[in-house]
Amino acid sequence: MDLTATTSQLASTLADTVRLLPAKMYDPVLAGVLITADRDGVLVRGTDRERGVRLRCAATVHADGQVLVPAKPLAETLRALDAPQVRLVVEGARLAVRVPGARFALPLLEADLHPGVAEPPARAGEVDGPEFASLLSVVASVASRDDALPMLTGVRLRGGPNRPLSMVATDRYRLAIASLPWTGESEVDAMVPASLLVEAAKQAASAERVALHVDGDRAGLVWGDSGIVTSLLASTLPDERKLLPTTVDATVTVDADALAGAVRRVGLFSEGHQVVQLDLGDGDIRVHGGGQQVGEAEEHVKAEITGGRPSPAYQVRYLSDALKAFAGQQVTMAVQPGHRGTMFTSDGRLQYLVVPIRAQA
C-alpha cells in the first residue's frame, strides 16, 4: 500500500474514527484501524463489535492495499504533523508515515484476525443532512449521561412512509422533540445511543443527504461512502406525547437571545442550584436571582404575555440550553400550572420542555 493525502484531511478522518469508537479497547486487534487504499482514495474502518465506523478520505493512491495499524498512535501522529501532504507506505512490517525531512513507522497488526466492519442493515429512508445534524445535536444533548439509566441515554427515532421522522430524548428534567420530513421507505422505531449519534451527525452534516438504516438490532447512518452502524439500546422511552402541555397557565413570546442574555447575567448572582426566577408581568419578564453570599440581580426583558402571571424558577443551565436551541428566533413558552414543565417552541420543528426547579427537589 502506498498513498499520498492532504495531512489535515487524513488527520481529521483518523481523529473522527477514534472519537466514534470507545476510548478503551483492550483487544489490540480491535484497537486497530483498517486502512484500505483503492481507486476511490482511502477508506478508514474500525469496530468494537458493537459499532462499526467507515469514513472515506480523498487520496492519491500509488499502490492499492490494506493494512491494520494501531488507531490512536496513527491519529496522534497525523495530528502532530504540520506538512501539507503526508505519505503512507508499507515498508516491511511497518506502516511508514512520511513527510519532508521526517519518517514515523507504526507496526502492522494481523489484519486477518480483524472481524471486519459489518455492512449497515436495510435502508429505512433518507433525510436532509444539514437539517438532520442541526436538530439531532439539540435533541441528543438532552439525553442523560448516566449509564445506570440506559433507556435515558438514547435518542428515539421514529417514523414511517407517510409520517415525518421524529427524534426524542430526555433526562427526566428536560425533553426535546424534533421532527423533519424524510423519504421514509419503512417503519422505524429505534433507540440509538445519543453520544454516538451526536458525533456521527457532525461527520454527516456536510452531506446533502443522509440515509438511515435500521433493523431489529442495529441502526446506521450512511452518507456517500462513509457511515456508522451501532447496536440499539434494549429499552425505549415512554410515549412522549403524554408529556406535552394540555393545560397552559401562561403563553409568552420573547426574543430567545434577549432572554438568554438576561438569564446568563442574572445567573452570575445565583448560588447553590444556580436558579433564576421569571416573574411574568404586563409586557415584560422580570428575571431575578441572588443569595446571601453573592448579592442579587434583576433584569427586565420585553415579551408578549397572555394568560396568568406565574413566576416559574429554573436551573440556569437547563434554561440557557433551551433558549440556545432557539438562537436568533422568537420563542414561545407555554407555562403549565404548578410544577409541570414549560414547553419552548418556535417554527414547530423543535419542542423543548424544561421542568421548573421546584419539581426537581
Above 70 in pLDDT, residue 360?
no
Is residue 186 a contact partner of residue 122, using CB atoms and an 8 Å limit?
Answer: yes
For residues 3-12, give the mean pLDDT: 97
pTM confidence score? 0.86
> Does position 200 have pLDDT exceeding 90, yes or no?
no
Of 20-24, 135-139, 215-219, 275-279, give the lowest mean pLDDT range: 20-24
Identify the weakest region by mean pLDDT among 66-75, 206-215, 241-250, 337-346: 241-250
CB 90 within 8 A of CB 37: no
The angle subtended at Cα 357 by Cα 313 and Cα 257, nearest 5°, is: 50
Q: What is the pLDDT of residue 270?
A: 85
85-88, long-range: CB < 8 A, 24+ apart = 85/4, 85/5, 85/6, 85/7, 86/4, 86/5, 86/6, 86/7, 86/10, 87/2, 87/3, 87/4, 88/1, 88/2, 88/3, 88/4, 88/5, 88/10, 88/35, 88/37, 88/42
**Model confidence band, residue 361 (pLDDT cutoffs 50, 70, 90):** very low
pLDDT tens digits for range 130-173: 999 999 999 999 999 888 888 899 999 999 998 999 999 999 88
pLDDT at 263 over 80: yes
pLDDT of residue 159: 94
Band of residue 321 on the pLDDT scale cut at 50, 70, 90: very high
**% of the chain beyond a pLDDT of 70:** 99
**Cell digits of residue 192:** 440509538
Cell of 173: 428534567
Stretch 64-93: mean pLDDT? 97
